Amino acid sequence: MYPITYVTDCFDGNARARLSTRIGALFGRSPIIVAADGPDPESFAALTLLDCLRSTESLGAAGHPTITLLNIAPRDGVWPNGVPFCYFTYGQHIVASTFNARALSLVRRELGIDRVHVTDIREVMDAAGAWADFSTAELEKIVTTQFRSLWYLPLLAKWVADGHAVPSTATAVPEVLDGEPTVSVVDNFGNCKLDRRLELVPGDSVPIGRDHTEVTYYPHLTAVPRDTPGLIPGSSGSDFTELVIRGGSAAAYFGLQPGDAVLQPCLVS
């Protein structure tokens, strides 16, 4: 049994019900569905995907293989029926995802996953006749549907997990050039998880937000004075920096949300 996590920007109640039921029918286990919501779902998805894979490390044993699905479709109109889907492995773990450079940017930068297997849905569905039984009408529906994250992506993950010869093209993940450090996730405490580690040591301070508030870097949360903003090594990535207020919400205090830059441009190298 593969534990399955599905990160998606299609997460209303109806969508969750359909995804859970379809994946449960395929795998015998329904997924945990994570909503990629907010103003910058790609940034949220990038950090969440990295955290999912990082969380499989340091188990003290081999552990069990997992599957992570990611559906973040750019609305740029470049692709005829939406961006293609791809897959890759990290150790024994499988990821099936939309081929979205921003959503894949952190696993590229932090884990060295610079190539993925990009699939063409019709090519895959034609090949699947060797191991699956679809009517012509079913095959055409899966190939042409707008709702590919429901009908196709779970099949792709299942067939890769089952070891089938899924046709694909090894493709480089486009590099997303680093801009200013930004907020990727605001957690339920109002802590702002950044998309990288800031090269700071305890005692350093940098101006944060529109008011240029000087914020000091501390070694951990309990070292931050209560009700005071601070920067600390966070829980995401590999100690990615977090902006916090001990006992309060940094997001509310600074008016930040995912996608927002946190440092003044003159301090960004």
The model's pLDDT over 102-127, given as tens digits with 9 standing for 90+, comes to 999 999 999 999 999 999 999 999 99
Question: 101 pLDDT exceeds 80?
Answer: yes
The closest of 116, 69, 62, 54 to 89, measured between CA atoms, is 116
As a whole number, the mean pLDDT across the chain is 92
Q: Is 63 left (phi over 0), alpha (psi -120 to 50) or beta?
A: left
What does DSSP say about strands 4-8 and 32-35: parallel, antiparallel, or unpaired? Answer: parallel
Show the tokens assigned to 212: 């240029």
What span, in angstroms and rounded, lies between the C-alpha atoms of 31 and 239?
27
183-267 has CATH 2.40.30.90 classification:
yes
Per-residue pLDDT tens over the stretch 182-228: 999 999 999 999 999 999 999 999 999 888 899 999 999 999 999 99
Q: Is the pTM of this model over 0.85?
A: yes
Q: 207: which strand partners?
A: 214
| The one-letter amino acid at 225 | P
Show the tokens assigned to 7: 């990160």
Do residues 67 and 4 make contact, with C-beta atoms less than 8 angstroms apart?
A: yes
Alpha-helix runs per DSSP H in 94-202: 105-111, 121-127, 136-144, 148-151, 153-161
Fold of domain 4-172: Rossmann fold (3.40.50)
Do residues 68 and 49 make contact, with C-beta atoms less than 8 angstroms apart?
A: yes
Domain range annotation of the chain: 4-172, 183-267
What span, in angstroms and rounded, lies between the C-alpha atoms of 165 and 128?
9
What span, in angstroms and rounded, lies between the C-alpha atoms of 65 and 204?
41
What span, in angstroms and rounded, lies between the C-alpha atoms of 77 and 157?
25
What 8-state DSSP symbol labels residue 220? S
